[in-house]
Structure 1
Amino acid sequence: MPLLHITVLVPFLLALMIALLRGRMARLHRGWLVIAGPLALFIYFLTRIPVIKGGDSGYETVSWIPSLGINLVFHLDGLSLLFALLITGMGMLVIFYSIYYLDKRKEELTPFYVYLLIFMGAMLGVVLSDNLMVLYGFWELTSVSSFLLIAYWHRRQKSRYGALKSMLITVFGGLAMFAGFLMLYGMTGTFSIREIWSQTGDISGQSLFIPSMILILLGAFTKSAQFPFHIWLPDAMEAPTPVSAYLHSATMVKAGLYLVARFSPVFAGQHEWFWIVSGVGLITLIYGSIQAMKQTDLKALLAYSTISQLGLIMGLLGMGSAASFYTGEEAVFFTAATTAALFHLINHAIFKGSLFMVVGIVDHETNTRDLRKLGGLVSLMPVTFTVALIGSFSMAGLPPFAGFLSKEMFFTAVLNIRQLDILSPQSFFTIFPVLAWIASIFTFAYSMIMVFHTFFGKYQPEKLDKKPHEAPFGLLLPPILLALLAVITGLFPNILSKTLIVPGMNAIHPQLAASSPFYVNIYFWHGFTAEVWMTLGVILLGIVVYRVYGRLSLVDKEWRSGYTLNHVYDGSIRLVERVSRSVTGLYMTGSMRHYLMYIFTLIIVVVGGSLLYADGITFGQGEYAPVSFFEVVAVLVMLTGALAIPFAKSRIAAILLTGMVGYMVTLLFILFRAPDLALTQMIVEVVSVTLFLLCFRHLPRLKREKVKFRVKIPKLIIAVGFGATMTLVALAALGSSPFESISSFYVENSYTLGGGKNIVNVLLVDFRGFDTMFEITVLGLASLAIYSMIKLQLEPGSKPDLVRDVPDDNKPRYARSNDVLLQSVAKVAFVIIITFSLYLFFAGHNHPGGGFIGALMAAAALVLLSIAFGTEFVEKVLPVDYRKLIAAGISIAFLTGIGSFVFDVPFLTQTFGYFELPVMGKTELTTATLFDLGVYLSVIGVTMNIIFTIGRDN
């Protein structure tokens, strides 16, 4: 299936497009553009159903880091297809719902849809990845994007609290899972999940097998909100309702279930897997159902019901692993639990998604989700009530809805577990159906509270901020479609059994599927079986619990617990903050001098000690090149300038001496015949001296205090020791390298493989393009950090300490020159320098130059223009947003690297060729030029963003 990597890439590309179109879609709601992506993906995955049903599967590999065994390997089987359909189908409905839920006049929609699309792409990456490292990368991306979505209303303290809690807990689980993946790699020597399956029999007895299993389960339990890691999910309900309907009912919380199902072929044969997964699932099931009864907020009720239902599915996956203890018909007998898990996974996404949307409608139309204020809405919102009734009855497990069928299958699974003979006495397994039955009673009760307490009872208009009315059709359509699905899948369940459930079973139990094909036939009536009597008991006792709950007005009671897991979490965070603040306060003194002393001392001890005590270290004696007279002069001038800096009486003198040292380095590069480095160093000195001067005018007058000599001794020792250490490092690199110099490889291959005669430029944009890409990314982040730091205002109306106050007329002042001669020369010089900058950019692949040097030259031209005419003039003549220019440059560099995937070659692979062009004749064209363009734009953006930010007075 050649489109698998495209399906993962589509949401990210769409997110990028939405971000770039920001501010250009004033009339059109962005949701209408966004919805096209998940719709197309959903249709594509629907077309894959016959292929997967027929026994085929899609497998696709895109080279990334083949030397480490890390490639973008995507695999589509029955399990990943089921989740992909949930991700794209629910995503499509949620986006349609959000179009009418989020007002484009009041909400910032661009970030919302960018975060949502990133999350969708990350989830698709999780369920389609076959490589452990790639799966982990997408896994953590879901945590980051969900953090951004939960904190969408970031001005609310509860939103920020819920987002942080969810990320801390899920990232903790993700790191544990990462450690488990590394253990699996250590045992198998592969990152491929399917190759690990084939080695299960060889690694099951190794010492790291059980620890890796536990660590991977930690990742699954934290992501799927299993007890005791469930505490993040209720607080995540501060997110907008479309986010809750998507992340917390259908997708993100299902990622842990997917992980357990995906690794069942590896770990299901272990008794520990059975007990941990099924035990944690059943505990979560009953705990969540009891807690849901206590909630007065509708979303909180749904949050705990989601925790409960996730526990149910997790427990079923654990019980389904019992099939690995047997063979033949006995094994198939216990796979009923897996069948129930997959069926309820689909049902839960359908009815819980519709219920979250219903709650959003109620909140949208009444301005409250508080059950104590709601009631009597059935006559005002009949369509919403009908959807809520179907969703709640399906969640409660009542016929004729699909939830009834999967609940009956759940009862069958827990009853079957009593036949296990892995424990004596077997009667212990009776606890499984007992816990399932009790939890189902509470599930029935809170489902009735959800629908009847909201829509029946006394109407209380005095407690509502607005008069309720039926929601617009756009808000109603998605939950209506989901409610119809709950009815259709209930009446015709075998539509799912043969298309999605059986292929999913084949993926979870591949060995059983290979020996005998699975057959699933779901129907309503099985006679008066134990499951039927259990259901009747649930209904009768559920009605009693609901009536008692309502009669005693317990729904209006504030349930205050004593010492809860939330208190443990909050206390742990406060303790960590307190301890870290105390420890950090010991060495974070606010003095840059102290920080440098710490860093240099550590380098001296670690690096210097290693050089002195390691075996085989030599310092290149007898291998030095002859030293010329001009090199001696340049070094002496450089040393003189460097030694004079600490004794300078003013900052101007110190800056000039620093510049002198830099220009002597430039002279050395010229003497060593390194024109690229010389050009770069020279322009860097121009720009850096300008920056020094800009910062200088913000600083107070330099005052050198007299310090006793004994205070200077430690600093002198550190300075001399650090210099000596770096000298030894350089000499050791010259004399102790166990490898041959790689320089000959670049000399021989820069033209044949990189298409360029300038070895330095080919290195930067081809052989080591990955380094360059991350360097410009770091530069961009540093530039934005400087911008944020300068612009930061601690209080409204206050100014940062390092920036001058604005004059009385509140108009910003800009640095500029009044020298007419300078202004006249600057105009001519600007054109010449920019022209030379473009020459360096285009010529750099074969001659001295390149994107980095050309960008610095262009920045120097802009600096000259700014000094002559002022930054205000430059901003008017060249109205460029340099922060956006940074983003554009980095994006071009990344897209150049990603483009190599289209040709099935590793990331950032460059190519070149010769073409006959009109007028120009035979011309070399190379993709590295596009990458260099990204470097060029980003470096200009970084430099000018810093200079313009610091150059302003305000």
Structure 2
Amino acid sequence: MSSLHVAIMAPFLLAILIPVVYLYTKKIHTGWFVLLLPSLLFAYFLSYLPNTSGGDTITSTMSWVPSLGINFTAYVDGLSLLFALLITGIGALVVLYSIFYLDKGKERLHNFYVYLLMFMGAMLGVVLSDNLIVLYIFWELTSLASSLLISYWFHRKGSIYGAQKSMLITVFGGFAMLAGFCLIYGVTGTFSIRGIIDQAEVLAGSAIFLPAMILILLGAFTKSAQFPFHIWLPDAMEAPTPVSAYLHSATMVKAGIYLVARLTPVFGGASEWFWIISIVGLVTLFYGSITAVRQKDLKGILAYSTISQLGLIMSLLGVGSAALYFGDADQQALYAAAVVTAIFHLINHATFKGSLFMTAGIIDHETGTRDIRQLGGLMTILPITFTVSAVGLAAMAGLPPFNGFISKEMFFTEMLTAAEMDIFSVGTWGLLFPVVAWVASIFTFLYCSILFFKTFTGRFKSENFSHKIHEAPIGMLISPVILGSLVVVFGLFPNILSQSIIVPAVSGVLEVVPVSAVEGINLTLWHGLNTELMMSLGVIAFGSLLFLRMKKWETLEIYKRERDPLHWFYDRGLDGLISSSQAITRAQMTGRLRDYFVYMSAFLILLVGFTFWYSNAWLLDTSNLAEVPIFMYMLTLVFIAATLMIPFIRNRMTLIIVAGIVGYLMALFFAILRAPDLALTQLLIETVTVVLLMLAFRHLPEMTKEVTKASTKMINVLISSLVGVVVTVVAISAYSLGTNANFTSISQFFIDNTYELGGGTNMVNVILVDFRSLDTILEVLVLAVVSLAVIMLVKHRFKGGEDV
């Protein structure tokens, strides 16, 4: 196992030790022990910067299931390293913040840090895995860990509801994504992302190209809260604030962004990829910004602002994918700039949104509320929190000199570029790109203004609080201050990230585009007097006007409705799913064994019958049939007669005897057809069954005559007859197939290898013990478990315990 694999698995290993650490450290906050790991991992991943900056990649493979093409291959390039640094760097700040945010005496810290570490390891696995199946496993672990963290305060109904919604939506997307991965494997024959990129042209010419793309994008959109799957993110705000700052602003919601970026070399250059990602991104940007304005909860506003910002990044990746359409270097550089903007804004968003979530947590922690209608005048009471919040909100609103202003200006540039596209049938539709971007930015400025002025300015309403409000302890302020400082540093000196982080990450997204197309980027605060600057001034003017006129339009009914109307569809859909499943369960679970056999038999008939019809598998070959002796006809007639008698017998003992005759006749057939092992097994089983049934049934009362409807009898006759027909057809077809000269039976393999590989001359025994040994072991294990259960029940009864 390489150091990369150790780095990925380290959070899981520490998570196992947390409960022990928690037990033996009563006086020390558990977070101090946890803090060491993300800090070390951050330093470890920083050591890869010289490699990725030079264009190198690091790969380390650990064999797992090589026969299925599944190996744990860790892959580090500029893109994966960027995400690894975000996961570990912000992870360390979040752990430090949580040490002071979560009360050691009141909270179950061992649970919290186990879930947090599990999530950290899963996210590292997602961004560092080259194998799609391994990536999927870690992907679903992020959903599980996220749900556990959201439901951390499980005594709250909202926490359980939010965790359930998060799990259902993201896991649904994960299943769709897995199906897309399998489709890709069917064409390329590999799960390796590197191998798939090498066969991108083969995949593009396949019929499964579009279905695989849509399925994978479902996974990305659900994880990154894109419209209309965004509805899980606001309810996830029931999680503790450290969770919101980590999962729902900087890491988990960026997993879908990562997936789209990573698979852009596979699907990029296709018009479907361009349109789906660009449209979904812009709709999410627009819808999220408008809905954020209606929220009254600090974290609610930040949740919808996160949704909006994720849409912004997604739309940039959609536009940037057009670079893969061109072979001309100038055209590639023109559209590759959109990916540069996406990567830069991804970093910026992690800094200012992480700091804003933390300051919102401080306000909630110190005041006991997040409702902006009760807050106000906190500027002088929480001066440090106010300063950090002001910086973060200014960056999110796109004001200079902060990093958000630079990426917003670049965003406008890319939307204007998209409007002039002459590919993918953009045409006049391209005008919507800058228009939607500009209108959404106005509402972004508006909700930032609402957050700032409603929280920190105006009169402080001391009557709304039951205790004296004061600034948070220094330990809780360190993390947001660091993130806020990065907002300023990246705004004033943006190029410190250009060659070390951004260019390598962009190269990871646009692998087939020459590095020369992006390595000359120059990030600057001042872009000159241009259209983008005019758009920014318009955003400030119209956003300020809307805020100043807020008392006029906040009386509107739509503003008073905080809850996203799309939640109604989820709730009704979930209720419908529950009610329909209950109806199906009531229809199936009747408590009658006969009904269960009808369902199972009908399913068997439909499945096998459809398979035979679809594959045209019916065969009949009588050329190799041997002559049947006359006594076999006589035995068959007796067998049929005994079988037909069973439904009409009313005496239990007679019924058991006749059923036993059927079983013994079957053993006789086995013996005649030279299968002594099967005959002996059948004889033993039949004898034991008959004896046990006779011992048990002799104690039961006389059978009563059951009144059965004629329709029920007809259904029973029909089902049983069809089962017989299907089994007969399968048997005849299987025999006929075995006589086909073009068909090689698997039996020949066992004939040739029973003695050589198994060391035995009894073929049946060797198959059971050697060739199917795992199956046999599991069967023995099942019998052992049942035996232990019986022993425990008997001992419990003998000791006079409760009769269970």
TM-score interval w.r.t. the shorter chain?
A: 0.7 to 0.9
- 1:492 counterpart residue number: 493
* Alpha-carbon spacing, 1:292–1:593, altered in 2? closer, same or farther (3 Å): same
* Alpha-carbon spacing, 1:761–1:421, altered in 2? closer, same or farther (3 Å): same
Cα offsets for 1:75-129 (capped at 9, x unmatched): 2111111111112222222222223323343333333333333322222222122
* Alpha-carbon spacing, 1:338–1:717, altered in 2? closer, same or farther (3 Å): closer
Unaligned runs of 5+ in 1: 623-638, 666-671, 694-699, 777-849, 873-951
Cα offsets for 1:514-562 (capped at 9, x unmatched): 5656222222233333333333333333333222226876699952289
Q: CA deviation at 1:57?
A: 0.7
Say whether the 8 Å CA contact 1:506–1:518 is kept in structure 2.
Answer: no
Asked if 1:167 corresponds to 2:161, the answer is: no
Say whether the 8 Å CA contact 1:296–1:556 is kept in structure 2.
Answer: no
Cα offsets for 1:225-263 (capped at 9, x unmatched): 222222222122122222211121111211111121112
- 1:507 counterpart residue number: 508
* Alpha-carbon spacing, 1:601–1:257, altered in 2? closer, same or farther (3 Å): closer
Q: CA deviation at 1:384?
A: 1.4
Say whether the 8 Å CA contact 2:375–2:454 is kept in structure 1.
Answer: yes
- 2:340 counterpart residue number: 339
Distance 1:762 1:220 in 2: 44
Q: CA deviation at 1:307?
A: 1.0
Distance 1:133 1:361 in 2: 40
Q: CA deviation at 1:338?
A: 0.9
Cα offsets for 1:563-601 (capped at 9, x unmatched): 932223333333343444444433332445532442245
Q: CA deviation at 1:148?
A: 2.6
Aligned residue type for 2:274: F
Asked if 1:450 corresponds to 2:473, the answer is: no
- 1:286 counterpart residue number: 286
Distance 2:93 2:33 in 1: 14
* Alpha-carbon spacing, 1:166–1:432, altered in 2? closer, same or farther (3 Å): same
Distance 2:111 2:191 in 1: 34
* Alpha-carbon spacing, 1:417–1:517, altered in 2? closer, same or farther (3 Å): closer
Aligned residue type for 1:135: L
Distance 1:609 1:527 in 2: 69
- 2:398 counterpart residue number: 397
- 1:481 counterpart residue number: 482
Q: CA deviation at 1:497?
A: 1.2
* Alpha-carbon spacing, 1:539–1:724, altered in 2? closer, same or farther (3 Å): closer
* Alpha-carbon spacing, 1:564–1:263, altered in 2? closer, same or farther (3 Å): same
Distance 2:426 2:100 in 1: 58
Unaligned runs of 5+ in 2: 627-641, 668-675
Asked if 1:136 corresponds to 2:168, the answer is: no
* Alpha-carbon spacing, 1:722–1:535, altered in 2? closer, same or farther (3 Å): closer
* Alpha-carbon spacing, 1:88–1:702, altered in 2? closer, same or farther (3 Å): farther
Aligned residue type for 2:135: L
- 2:527 counterpart residue number: 526
Q: CA deviation at 1:394?
A: 1.5
Distance 1:562 1:26 in 2: 42
Distance 2:426 2:316 in 1: 22
* Alpha-carbon spacing, 1:590–1:349, altered in 2? closer, same or farther (3 Å): farther
* Alpha-carbon spacing, 1:604–1:219, altered in 2? closer, same or farther (3 Å): closer
* Alpha-carbon spacing, 1:505–1:751, altered in 2? closer, same or farther (3 Å): farther
Superposed, 1:19-418 pairs within 5 Å as 26-326=26-326, 327-418=328-419
- 2:435 counterpart residue number: 434
Say whether the 8 Å CA contact 1:250–1:353 is kept in structure 2.
Answer: yes
Distance 1:22 1:733 in 2: 62
Distance 1:702 1:554 in 2: 78
Query: Percentage identity across aligned positions?
Result: 49
Say whether the 8 Å CA contact 1:45–1:85 is kept in structure 2.
Answer: yes
* Alpha-carbon spacing, 1:714–1:544, altered in 2? closer, same or farther (3 Å): closer
Distance 2:770 2:30 in 1: 42
Cα offsets for 1:482-536 (capped at 9, x unmatched): 1122122222222211111010111111222256562222222333333333333
Distance 1:555 1:102 in 2: 39
Distance 2:424 2:606 in 1: 58
Distance 1:760 1:425 in 2: 64
**Partner secondary structure for residue 60 of structure 2:** strand
**Partner secondary structure for residue 371 of structure 1:** coil
Say whether the 8 Å CA contact 2:336–2:517 is kept in structure 1.
Answer: no
Aligned residue type for 1:219: G
**Partner secondary structure for residue 100 of structure 2:** helix
Q: CA deviation at 1:41?
A: 2.3
Aligned residue type for 1:495: I
Aligned residue type for 2:246: Y
Say whether the 8 Å CA contact 2:620–2:732 is kept in structure 1.
Answer: no
Q: CA deviation at 1:269?
A: 1.0
Distance 1:112 1:434 in 2: 44
Distance 1:304 1:388 in 2: 17
Aligned residue type for 1:251: T
RMSD: 4.8
Cα offsets for 1:740-767 (capped at 9, x unmatched): 4577868755799xxxx999888899xx
**Partner secondary structure for residue 333 of structure 1:** helix
Distance 1:609 1:120 in 2: 46
Q: CA deviation at 1:280?
A: 2.0
Superposed, 1:640-655 pairs within 5 Å as none
* Alpha-carbon spacing, 1:226–1:75, altered in 2? closer, same or farther (3 Å): same
Distance 2:493 2:737 in 1: 75
Aligned residue type for 2:534: W
Distance 1:610 1:427 in 2: 50
Say whether the 8 Å CA contact 1:375–1:457 is kept in structure 2.
Answer: yes
Q: CA deviation at 1:312?
A: 0.9
Aligned residue type for 2:254: K
Count, aligned residues: 755
Say whether the 8 Å CA contact 1:58–1:75 is kept in structure 2.
Answer: yes
Distance 1:278 1:609 in 2: 42
Superposed, 1:620-635 pairs within 5 Å as none
**Partner secondary structure for residue 511 of structure 1:** coil
Q: CA deviation at 1:215?
A: 2.7
**Partner secondary structure for residue 231 of structure 2:** helix
Q: CA deviation at 1:151?
A: 2.6
